[in-house]
Structure 1
Amino acid sequence: MSAPLDLGTVGRTLQRLVERDGRPLVLRDGATGLDHRLPASLVAAPEGLMPNFLAAANVVWRAATGRHLGIEQERDPEALLGYRVTAMRGEPFSVVMLSAMEAIGRSGTAKALLVNDFDALWHQLRPFGAPNSSNTAPGRTLGPTP
């Protein structure tokens, strides 16, 4: 297990990955169906979108290795989407960022990086070691949990 990662460094790097991606960051309101463009700075905040991006990265890493990234989160009613990242104590910084890059690349459309699409990763990626059969085809499995 690696030493705890600095959440400031993780957040700033996640923000740069989103900015470098070039697509607008969008959150779809489930109640109204309206899309809301968000500033990339929310990705850097442990109480902002960081929990969602790291959960998506965790899905990618878990599907590839069967291990978790070591993200510690807690419920926070004051946080943007109800959760806050409190620590990371699992894998090296490079593994976290490579997993986040893959999650970002697999999400959204050519026109927008839709935060809500991270849910699709949990359905697309088979759990590590799952047999290759029609029962585990993309879209049919629940996949790994964040």
Structure 2
Amino acid sequence: MKANENKQDCPCGRKTVKAAPLAYADCCGRYIEHWDEQPAPDAESLMRSRYSAFVRENASYLQATWHTSQRPEQLDFDASTKWLGLEVKDFQVTGQDSAEVEFVARYRVGGRAVRMHERSRFVCEEGRWYYVDGEQF
């Protein structure tokens, strides 16, 4: 990661208590760039970091955080996709090692605006959270 990328606002849009945007390095970057040493502490943080990984086209992080029961063999990114923002609508712990996050991700592809609304399911195994699947609305 380049030094100036550390200072950029995090793509996930998380803010400080004073409503200032968090820098990538202080937000999702610490999980994406240091997956082995610092996994996301909860399902919402994992979901946000996965959004940031999609924005940054980081297939290795996305694969590593996808539960093996659902993980695709490969990921392809559309070069014409421009991510516009993320809104977390709900975060619920559903069990000792499970949680759900409802979100809306907005992006533009080929000039067309897209709104993806999903309730994602996550599990925690051996201290690491994984994306399992989601239901789109």
TM-score, reference length from structure 2: 0.30
Which is helix-richer, 1 or 2? Answer: 1
TM-score, reference length from structure 1: 0.29
Which structure has more RCO (C-alpha within 8 Å, separation ≥ 6)? 1
